[in-house]
């Protein structure tokens, strides 16, 4: 099984948000050195590359919970509109974390329920994003 997760952000300023999420994850000891920006090729007449996603290398042993927890914590701090992070695996399974939903959670219990549900979907290989993420 491929242990990599791709994170994309749906928002008009996704490049800046990807850099912000990359910085947040890179500060966490668990993710340091395992997160990289994926850039799209620059087009003629443009300056530089623009990030289109993050690639996160997961270690064996159910660390999707830790990654989703970190993404939810980051999303709760976002005040930029309707930010939605899509986490995908190579087998096609995916989940979405919406910042508005993450910000609406009240207390650790609600956060825990959301994170566990999303991790179960992502690790269980059930494709789709209509689950508890509200995406």
pLDDT tens readout for residues 104-127: 999 999 999 999 999 999 987 544
Residue ranges of the domains in the chain? Answer: 4-40+49-124
pLDDT tens, residue by residue, 51-85: 889 999 987 765 788 999 999 999 999 876 788 99
- Average per-residue pLDDT for the chain: 83
Q: Is the distance from CB of 21 to CB of 37 less than 8 angstroms?
A: no
Examine the pLDDT at 90 and tell me if it is beyond 70. yes
pTM of structure: 0.81
Q: Which of 62, 34, 47 is nearest to 124 (CA)?
A: 62
Give dist(CA 106, CA 13) in Å, integer.
27
Give buried/exposed letters for 60-96 (b at 16+ CB in 10 A, else e).
eeebbbbbbbbbbebbeebeeeebbbbbbbeeebbbb
């Amino acid at each position: 099984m491929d242990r990599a997760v791709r994170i994309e952000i749906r928002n008009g300023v996704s490049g800046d948000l990807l850099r912000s999420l990359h910085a947040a994850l890179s500060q966490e000891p668990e993710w340091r050195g395992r997160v990289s920006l994926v850039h799209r090729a620059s087009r003629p007449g443009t300056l530089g590359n623009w990030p289109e996603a993050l690639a996160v290398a997961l270690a064996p042993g159910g660390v999707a919970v830790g990654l989703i927890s970190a993404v939810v914590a980051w999303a709760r701090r976002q005040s930029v509109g309707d930010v939605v992070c899509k986490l995908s695996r190579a087998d096609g399974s995916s989940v979405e974390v919406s910042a508005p939903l993450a910000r609406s959670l009240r207390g650790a219990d609600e956060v825990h329920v959301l994170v566990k549900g999303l991790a179960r979907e992502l690790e269980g290989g059930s494709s789709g994003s209509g689950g508890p993420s509200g995406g």
